[in-house]
């Protein structure tokens, strides 16, 4: 990979891992939530490096814009936040389970055969790597180019429509649950 992308990759990796370590090790809960937002932003940077601009932007929009805010609201509504994590008996079992999960995930990630999205966009995406820092819009690479989002959209509505609708049902259930919880008594 060219020099600039190597450099950016290493910088992002250091930031991401440092922030992730900070999330679990920092005592102040609010700061660990903010470091989690930093992790999300660096993951978005990784997506940009992989030429998945759409996913990067969606990552920032959803994770930083909504989920981090959710975490922070949760922290705000919790009392005695500044004391940090109280000692309890479950710490050693938690460490064991987390390390097992980590080993399992690394094994799964190494042993998977990652297939690219099967459409014509992928070759063009590869050629776009070399110009990827400049960013190639729809018109510049010829009329046969489809933006990666089009492939994504076709998959969502075509092959994966059932999970898509199931997710929308899940959101509906969450909305109704939220409304039911927030409804005041007697109204």
Asked if 146 touches other proteins (CB under 8 A), the answer is no
Cβ proximity to other proteins: between 16 and 68 the closer is 68
Asked if 158 touches other proteins (CB under 8 A), the answer is no
Separation CA 96–CA 9 (nearest Å): 30
- Per CB under 8 A, the list member of 53, 119, 124, 129 interacting with other proteins is 53
Instruction: Pick the stretch among 63-71, 84-92, 99-107, 117-125 that binds other proteins (CB under 8 A).
Output: 63-71
10 Å CB burial of residue 112 (0-12, 13-18, 19+) is exposed
- Per CB under 8 A, the list member of 5, 14, 73, 174 interacting with other proteins is 73
Cβ proximity to other proteins: between 74 and 104 the closer is 74
Q: Read out DSSP for 18-83?
A: HHHHHHHH-S-HHHHHHHHHHHHHHHHHHHHHTT-HHHHHHHIIIIIIIIHHHHHHHHHHSSSGGG
Asked if 138 touches other proteins (CB under 8 A), the answer is yes
- Tokens at residue 158, please? 């075509």
46 Cβ contact list (under 8 Å, min separation 6): 9, 12, 16
Q: Which CA distances in Å does 41 have to 63, 64, 89, 142, 168?
A: 8, 7, 34, 32, 26
Separation CA 11–CA 14 (nearest Å): 5
Asked if 154 touches other proteins (CB under 8 A), the answer is no
Binding mask 10-29 for other proteins (x = CB under 8 A): ------------------x-
Instruction: Pick the stretch among 7-15, 19-27, 51-59, 159-167 that binds other proteins (CB under 8 A).
Output: 51-59
Instruction: Pick the stretch among 16-24, 69-77, 116-124, 158-166 that binds other proteins (CB under 8 A).
Output: 69-77
- Tokens at residue 138, please? 């729809």
Asked if 139 touches other proteins (CB under 8 A), the answer is yes
Give me the residues that bind other proteins (CB under 8 A), please.
2-4, 28, 30-31, 34, 37, 53-54, 57-58, 60-61, 64-66, 68-69, 72-73, 76, 130-131, 133-140, 147, 149
């Amino acid at each position: 990979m060219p020099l600039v992308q190597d450099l950016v990759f290493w910088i992002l990796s250091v930031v991401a891992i440092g922030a992730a370590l900070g999330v679990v090790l920092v005592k102040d809960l609010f700061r660990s939530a903010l470091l989690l937002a930093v992790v999300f932003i660096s993951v978005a940077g990784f997506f940009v490096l992989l030429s998945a601009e759409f996913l990067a932007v969606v990552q920032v929009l959803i994770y930083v814009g909504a989920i981090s805010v959710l975490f922070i609201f949760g922290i705000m509504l919790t009392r005695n936040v500044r004391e940090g994590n109280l000692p309890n008996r479950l710490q050693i079992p938690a460490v064991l389970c987390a390390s097992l999960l980590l080993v399992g995930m690394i094994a799964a990630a190494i042993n998977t055969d990652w297939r690219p999205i099967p459409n014509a966009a992928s070759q063009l995406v590869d050629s776009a790597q070399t110009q990827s820092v400049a960013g190639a819009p729809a018109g510049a690479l010829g009329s046969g180019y489809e933006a990666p989002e089009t492939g994504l959209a076709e998959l969502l509505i075509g092959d994966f429509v059932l999970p898509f609708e199931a997710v929308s049902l899940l959101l509906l259930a969450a909305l109704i649950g939220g409304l039911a919880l927030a409804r005041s008594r007697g109204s």
